[in-house]
Structure formats: structure tokens, C-alpha cells
Amino acid sequence: MVFAPAAANAATVGTSSSSLLRSLLQNPSAIRSKLGAQQLHAQLLKAPRTPSSALDHHAVVLSVYANLGLARDAALAFAYLPYRSTLCWKAIIRCSTAHGLFVQSVSLFLRMRREANSAAGQQHVLPSVLKACTMLGNLRLGESIHGYAVRLGLGLDLYVGNALMNMYCKLHESEGKLFDGMPHRDSLRREEMVMRRMDFTERL
């Protein structure tokens, strides 16, 4: 009985920490400092592992680091993950592209293709990789990823299609055949394509 109060206090602290962790994970935008991001990360590392959700929580941590401009911290956190879900790959690749680390973004994508157990969810990753190819001016690599997207059945995905249109436009390639094969074609998208072509013509 002597140890009952201590046990009760420990349980209270544990419940408090668990509640704080849940609160931060549910509202990650409330974290606005490097210290806050590190505290979230530390709380997550100390929390009991739950296989069904822990990996998604790690993706939240990566996104928090990315949103704060802490690309290096995100990369370090990613490097120490024992297993990487598609959401984690998505978070680190988007972070790399958003912070101008285009070579790293492409490199991570190639690693993901080798290590991932399935191609599920890659429609959320491809737009960031295609943007990296665009910024690198690497059309050949972009075309290779386009072919990969087609093989996955993602060639007509709206977000992947938009990223492909941007890449081909900015790299001075015709996008007419891509546009003709895309669903949801409308006058606004056609006008956007025409305006981009006019813009590139003026630059030449």
C-alpha cells in the first residue's frame, strides 16, 4: 500500500502524456516551433507502439518538420524509421521538393520503388517527383516516371496529369496528346494549356 500513491501518480502522468500526444497529432498545425516539433517527436518515440497507426503518426511528424522548414530534421527522423509507410515516403519526398532538394527528392523516390512492398498510394507521391524533374530540367527522367505512372494505371489521374502537363509545358514539350487522353477536360483546362503555350512562345 505504501507504493499506491506513486503508482497512481505514474498512471496520471502516463495518461496526461498520452492525451497530449493525441492532441498534438490531431492538430499538428498548432506546432509552430522546432522545439514543439521535437517534443512531439520525443513523445511519439516514448509512446507504446500501435502497428495500425504508429507509421501514420510518424508521417505527421515528418510533415510538421517540413512545414516548419526543418528539412534536415525531417530527413534525420525519416532515416531512423524502422519501417516506412507510403505516407512517410510521401511526406519526406514532398518535403524535399518543397525545400528545393530536387536531387534528393528523386533519389528518395527511386529508393521507395526498391523498398516499398506495394505501389499503393503512389499517386500522392508522383506529383512531387515530377515537379522535381521539372525543376531539374530532366525531361528524360520525367518521361521515365510518366511511363511508370502509366504502368501503374495512374497516367489519367488528375493530380498526376496536372504535374505531367506542367512538366511538359515548362520543358517546352507538346502536351496536346496528354490533354486529349485525359478525363475531365473542360474549357478552363484547355484555356490554361493554350495560355501556357503562348507564354513559352513569348519567351523563345
Domain residue ranges of the chain, discontinuous segments joined by +: 1-83, 113-204
Residue 4: band (very low, low, confident or very high) from pLDDT cuts 50, 70, 90: very low
Name the pLDDT band for 203 (thresholds 50, 70, 90).
very low
All three cell numbers of 23 = 492532441
Does the pLDDT value for residue 20 go beyond 80?
no
* CA–CA dist 29, 63 (Å, integer): 10
pLDDT of 46 reads 76
Euclidean distance between CA atoms 133 and 105, whole angstroms: 9
Cα separation of 165 and 162, whole Å?
5
In this prediction, residue 189 has a pLDDT band, given cuts at 50, 70 and 90, of low
| More confident site: 199 or 98 | 98
- 168/185 Cα distance (integer angstroms): 17
Q: Which cell numbers hold the place of 42? A: 520525443
Name which of 200, 128, 194 is nearest 164 in CA terms.
128
pLDDT at 75: 94
What lies within 8 Å, CB to CB, of 21 at 6+ separation is 40, 43, 44, 47
Q: Which three cell numbers stand for residue 4?
A: 499506491
Q: Say which DSSP state 30 is in.
A: G
Look at residue 35 and tell me whether its pLDDT is greater than 70. yes
pLDDT interval class at 48 (50, 70, 90): low
Question: In whole numbers, what is the pLDDT of the chain averaged over residues?
Answer: 77
| Pairwise CA distance, residues 204 & 87, whole Å | 40
DSSP single-letter state for residue 124: G
Whether residue 119 has pLDDT greater than 50: yes
pLDDT, tens digit, 9 for 90 and up, residues 167-177: 988 886 545 55
Higher pLDDT, 29 or 64: 64
* pLDDT attached to residue 31: 82
Supply the pLDDT for residue 18: 66
pLDDT band at 10, cuts 50/70/90? very low
> What does residue 93 show for φ and ψ, rounded to 5 degrees?
-70, -45
pLDDT of 89 reads 92
Write down the pLDDT at residue 163. Answer: 93
At 159, the amino acid letter reads Y
Cα radius of gyration rounded to whole Å, the chain? 22
Q: Report the range of poorest mean pLDDT among 49-58, 116-125, 157-166.
A: 49-58
Full-model pTM: 0.69
